[in-house]
Amino acid sequence: MTLWTNRRLVRDENEIRDGQLCAEVVTVTESNILLRRAQQLAQAYVDGLARRPVAAPVSREDLRTALGGPLGDAPVDSLTVVEELAQGVDPGLVATSGGRFFGFVEGGVLPAALAADWLTATWDQNPGLHVLSPAAAAVEEVTAGWLLDLLGLPSSASLGFTTGAQMANFAGLAAARHDVLEKAGWDVEADGLTGAPPVAILVGADCHITIGRALRFLGMGERTMIVVSADSQGRMDADALRRTLVDIHGPSIVCAQAGNVNTGAFDPLREIAESCRDHGAWLHVDGAFGLWAAASPAHRHLVEGVELADSWATDGHKWLNVPYDSGFVACARPQTHRIAMAMRAPYLVRETNGARDGSDWTPESSRRARAFVVWAALRSLGREGVAALVRRCCDHATRFAETLSATEDLELLNDVVLNQVLVRVGDDDTRTRKTAAIVQSGGEAWLGDTVWRDKAALRISVSDHATTTADVDRATTAIIAAAIATRP
């Protein structure tokens, strides 16, 4: 073991140059050795992704034994630490960024995004204030413009780089809360909610759980949500919304959805937006993955009218295939967005010339300069690459649906309009769940199970650039074999 007593190692190296043996003194720093080793380990992981079991069963105890024990008193040299970490976690790593992980909605990692992520950690920039990183501020500004353009949102909207869609929903709804209460003569940032006029919050029956959670964080409570009925695919009933709004007199916020987490279905956004406009309600759209349909000409119709909303939430770490954590909140009214998020203190050196202080747009004060990675992903793909990524995943989803629904015992439960597929086995909850468990433990592919309209279903989500047709076919074969194995 090498214990680094100072920060440099000096060693002799021999090399052949022009046929001559040359002795050369090479200075190798600690970080040089560490980064090279990290690069080797990372490369080995990436190279092995296609071969490793997607999720290998490993016990919690084994992982804790490898990584746990009391924290020692003495320092451990950094190279040993890196080796121990890589070795200790390996059996517990799930190949979510490989081509055969179809659980939840997990994006993969584009090569340019991965490299930019390393650099982001290396540069260690804090984009909270312009003065802390003019580079991060500039990249946020440029990338925000690209994102608004790709997602079909107004170019005048503000955009903040959050950890994910959960915090993007939080930030969008914080802006909504400010706006509707300000119009009712209440300053929620100064006076809080005690004594404030009640705010009606309308959500579709199949809205994502992070909407309710954001409302909890905002002190508005999940139980206050007025639930508007949804159809068989999870789309909010726009007529029911209009009827409900008629009876609401006061501040109101509507949360619509672009991309249901089970079916992939889209709320009728134009009709909802028109009702909100007529009623003076704020419209927030949760499009964690579905908003990316706007980037694909073949799927853009699904988000028709989305630009009429007041705020939007989406993710980078899902369909844009950047590493965690990466989400975006956009707001049609930048001043409202800023009031809901910004902070002031004499020691915080603020820009007065219009330059961007990133903390104006997100709930965090200090944070990772995640826009570098988004910039790299978008630049490497270009507009056509993003469209192709979305289209390819949707094509794979269609392939899953066609093959599985043509198989005895298997039934398709949703209209496959995007990248989500729901399949039921033998019209039986137990068989369906068993099938998911068999596939998961087999390591060939990974998909989750869910409940849709009171029936258990296998849930397949395709959101990774790495997925190939061969991956889909391998996963399909594994699913069919597992379903057959559950026959009584």
Ligand X SMILES: Cc1ncc(COP(=O)(O)O)c(C=O)c1O
Contact window for ligand X (CB under 6 A) among 15-23, 161-169, 277-285, 446-454: 161-169
210 binds ligand X (CB under 6 A): yes
Nearer to ligand X, 324 or 400 (CB): 324
Min dist. Cβ of residue 286 to ligand X (A) = 5
Contacts of 242 (CB under 8 A, 6+ apart): 271, 275
Nearer to ligand X, 128 or 259 (CB): 259
261 binds ligand X (CB under 6 A): yes
Min dist. Cβ of residue 323 to ligand X (A) = 12
Which of 49, 203, 288, 320 touches ligand X by CB under 6 A? 288
Residues 159 and 329 sit within 8 Å (Cβ to Cβ): yes
Q: Are strands 8-17 and 20-29 parallel, antiparallel or unpaired?
A: antiparallel
Nearer to ligand X, 288 or 423 (CB): 288
Among 221, 231, 282, smallest CA distance to 255 is for 282
Query: Which burial class, exposed, middle or buried, applies to 5 when counting CB atoms under 10 A from its CB (0-12, 13-18, 19+)?
Result: exposed
Q: How far is CA 316 from CA 27, 106, 129, 414, in A?
A: 40, 10, 22, 25
316 binds ligand X (CB under 6 A): no
For residue 322, the one-letter residue type is: V
Contacts 24+ apart (CB under 8 A), 73-78: 77/1, 77/2, 77/3, 77/4, 78/4, 78/30, 78/34
Min dist. Cβ of residue 165 to ligand X (A) = 3
92 vs 55: CA distance, rounded Å? 8
Min dist. Cβ of residue 310 to ligand X (A) = 17
Nearer to ligand X, 208 or 367 (CB): 208
Give the residue carrying structure tokens 């559950």.
Answer: 486
Contact window for ligand X (CB under 6 A) among 23-31, 160-168, 241-249, 462-470: 160-168
103 binds ligand X (CB under 6 A): no
Min dist. Cβ of residue 370 to ligand X (A) = 12
362 binds ligand X (CB under 6 A): no
113 binds ligand X (CB under 6 A): no
Min dist. Cβ of residue 292 to ligand X (A) = 12
Q: How far is CA 40 from CA 36, 110, 247, 459, in A?
A: 6, 18, 63, 35
Size of the site for ligand X (CB under 6 A): 13
Helix (H, G, I), strand (E, B) or coil at 308: helix
462 binds ligand X (CB under 6 A): no
Contact window for ligand X (CB under 6 A) among 87-95, 163-171, 231-239, 470-478: 163-171
Contact window for ligand X (CB under 6 A) among 55-63, 235-243, 283-291, 403-411: 283-291
447 vs 439: CA distance, rounded Å? 7
Which of 307, 315, 357, 464 touches ligand X by CB under 6 A? 315
368 binds ligand X (CB under 6 A): no
Q: CB 160: neighbour CB atoms within 10 A?
A: 27
Q: Token pair of 302, please?
A: 């699904």
461 binds ligand X (CB under 6 A): no
204 binds ligand X (CB under 6 A): no
Length of the chain: 488
CA angle 289, 295, 300 (to 5 degrees): 90
Contact window for ligand X (CB under 6 A) among 187-195, 266-274, 285-293, 467-475: 285-293
177 vs 52: CA distance, rounded Å? 47
Min dist. Cβ of residue 387 to ligand X (A) = 21
User: Where is 438: in which H helix or E strand?
Assistant: helix 429-442
CA angle 438, 417, 387 (to 5 degrees): 100
Residues 4 and 17 sit within 8 Å (Cβ to Cβ): no
Min dist. Cβ of residue 172 to ligand X (A) = 11
Residues 263 and 232 sit within 8 Å (Cβ to Cβ): no
Nearer to ligand X, 324 or 375 (CB): 324
Min dist. Cβ of residue 234 to ligand X (A) = 10
Contact window for ligand X (CB under 6 A) among 282-290, 342-350, 419-427, 480-488: 282-290
Contact window for ligand X (CB under 6 A) among 2-10, 138-146, 284-292, 413-421: 284-292
Q: Token pair of 481, please?
A: 């074999």
120 binds ligand X (CB under 6 A): no
| Angle between helix 469-485 and 371-405 (nearest 10) | 50
Nearer to ligand X, 99 or 164 (CB): 164
Site string for ligand X, 321-360 (x = CB under 6 A): ------x---------------------------------
Residues contributing to the site for ligand X (CB under 6 A) = 105, 164-166, 208, 210, 259, 261, 286, 288-289, 315, 327
